[in-house]
Amino acid sequence: EMEAHIEEMDVGDTDAIEGKMEGFNYNIWGMKEPNYVMRMMATGGALFTEGCKSVARVWDNGTAKQFHYTQPYDWHFHYRHLVDDHNNKRHAIPFCEDSWNTDHWTFCVFTFLFAVTEVNVFLVHKFWTYRTDPSNLPVYVAFRRQLAWQFIDNPHLVSELKEANDSNVFKKDSPF
């Protein structure tokens, strides 16, 4: 239905089919390209072009058309690299999921969440601490090393362990 509808449109034209699934409204967006219809499903965006990127398509025969993306496509092309960049940092060697060799699902989930949090902390630190002078930003592996040492040398943990040890909380058979 959408394919036939958009096939009759000009390159760059966009339309949507509205739907509702499990109580959530969504749109299936379609944008006419020279040789195909690009479709995607999204819960946000509108057919507005104000503030969106201007692009051009050129055919083999030299024909060209310039148009503005609508919001969903503008957002898609503007932000699609963020997930790839985040995953590349998360999988920087040595990466947490590979270092902790386990098949137990709880540890797998923990290492995934820990790695995602580690990247988020780096990106927040980069944005808020080094945005005025990015030349002092440590490389990611140096940041990870600093973070690991902060976990190891955590002064709060040392005082808690000392208190626990002084109060004989640890039993004779305890591994601690």
The one-character DSSP state at 104 is: -
Contact 32, 7 (CB under 8 A): yes
- pLDDT tens digits for range 72-104: 889 888 888 888 888 888 887 777 777 777 788
pLDDT value for 171: 54
pLDDT value for 176: 45
Rounded to whole angstroms, the Cα distance separating 128 from 136 reads 13
At 168, the pLDDT band (50, 70, 90 cuts) reads low
Q: Which residues have a Cβ under 8 Å from the Cβ of 165 and sit 6 or more positions away?
A: none
Mean pLDDT, all residues of the chain: 82
% of the chain beyond a pLDDT of 70? 90
Q: Distance of CA 52 to CAs 56, 67, 70, Å?
A: 13, 10, 7
Rounded to whole angstroms, the Cα distance separating 109 from 142 reads 25
